[in-house]
Amino acid sequence: MAPLNSLELRIAVDANDLPEDRYSDHVNNARYFAFINRTFQAWYRPMGLRDRSTAFVAAMVRSEYDFLAEVKPPGEVMCRITVVRVGRASMEHAVEMWDMQPRGQDAPVLVGRGKVIHACIDRASRRATPWPQEVVAQCWDEPRPTLYS
């Protein structure tokens, strides 16, 4: 399997992750997207997608997330991203979030899942461009389909 096909990041949750109005005692929904973003930042760097000298940039163009259970601080979540599809200029990741220290449970609990789509964007034209093969090779084992014969 390609070394960066999947990445897991453990993230501590605390009182700073509660809603600003402190109305409830669980992690604010917006924080889940911050956790997903932090996980992608940990994936971008070894992929070379944060190097300003490249002719392209990875842009998040779609994000979906289904909340399945609440997380109560203090604790820890684990966010996992896995490449599930590579297109010509797009890449889709499955996202899973797990509560690693759920109250009253002996095992981690899946608290959410979703997907994120990135597009490869040419820095100069600001238009979609094919993913460089050296980027794809780091996260995808299957050859990309040939679109034209």
- Concatenate the DSSP letters of all residues of 45-91 into one string: HHHTTT-TTSSEEEEEEEEEEEE-S---SSEEEEEEEEEEEE-SSEE
| pLDDT value at residue 97 | 98
In a domain, 111, yes or no: yes
| pLDDT value at residue 49 | 86
Give the range of the structural domain holding residue 90, as residue numbers without chain letter: 6-139
| pLDDT value at residue 9 | 98
In a domain, 148, yes or no: no
CATH of the domain at 31: 3.10.129.10
Phi then psi for residue 137, to 5 deg, are: -60, -25
In a domain, 128, yes or no: yes
In a domain, 134, yes or no: yes
In a domain, 66, yes or no: yes
* Cα of 43 vs its chain's centroid, Å: 8
Nearest to 95 by CA among 76, 78, 71, 120: 78
Q: How confident is the model at residue 144 (pLDDT cuts 50, 70, 90)?
A: low
Query: Which residue type is seen at 96?
Result: E
pLDDT in tens, 7-63: 999 999 999 999 887 778 899 999 999 999 999 999 999 988 888 888 999 999 999
Q: What is the mean pLDDT of residues 113-128?
A: 96
In a domain, 149, yes or no: no
| pLDDT value at residue 148 | 41
| pLDDT value at residue 126 | 96
Q: Which helix (H) or strand (E) covers residue 73, if one does? A: none
In a domain, 1, yes or no: no
Yes or no: say if 43 and 4 are a contact pair by the CB < 8 Å rule.
yes
User: What pTM does this model have?
Assistant: 0.89
Q: How many domains does the chain fold into? A: 1
Average pLDDT score over the chain: 91
| pLDDT value at residue 117 | 97
Phi then psi for residue 63, to 5 deg, are: -145, 130
